[in-house]
Amino acid sequence: MRSVLSLERASTRHMRGITLIELLTVIIVIAVLASIAVASYRSYLLRANRTEARLSLLRIQAAQEKYFLQNNRYATNDELDDDPPDGLGIPTTSPGQFYTFTIDGYTSNSYRAVATAINGQTKDAAACRTLSIDQNGNRQPAANPECWR
């Protein structure tokens, strides 16, 4: 009987918990997974914020065409945020404060609307920090279509 009890005590001594090496291994695995998840989430946020710029540039393009029909010329940068019919009625900064909008390359028959990254969006890919569209619908950067997706 005594030998059975001593065997039970001996087997329970080895099953007390986890070792420090096992705990450190688990912590390292969790840290690696967390760093991958944070980086992926950050790039997703930058790509999602780019949507604000694309939508606003398309709004500017549509407003410019309407303005052209009414005035026989495109609106200038000074008329960008003026209320219609004197301007386009589009704010010069995106709702989330990630982009500023300007109109450059203006003539009465042409324009180029430009979205420039500000604040946290400046950490976006270098090619995607400035987006633009002109009166013909040409989008820049054309070499990187990922910026317009």
Residue 136, in any domain of the structure: yes
pLDDT at site 75:
94
Residue 96, in any domain of the structure: yes
User: What's the domain range around 93?
Assistant: 17-148
What is the rounded CA–CA span in Å between residue 111 and residue 74?
Answer: 7
Residue 3, in any domain of the structure: no
Residue 83, in any domain of the structure: yes
Residue 65, in any domain of the structure: yes
* Tokens read off for 89: 């009625």
Residue 29 · residue 75 · CB < 8 Å: no
Q: pLDDT truncated to tens, each residue of the chain (149 aa)?
A: 555 555 555 555 556 788 899 899 999 999 999 888 888 888 889 998 999 999 999 999 999 999 999 999 999 999 999 998 899 999 999 989 999 999 998 888 999 999 999 998 999 988 999 999 999 999 999 888 888 88
Residue 70 · residue 85 · CB < 8 Å: yes
In the chain, the number of structural domains is 1
Residue 8, in any domain of the structure: no
Annotate 25-88 with three-state secondary structure: HHHHHHHHHHHHHHHHHHHHHHHHHHHHHHHHHHHHHHHHHHHHHHHCCCCCHHHCCCCCCCCC
Residue 24, in any domain of the structure: yes
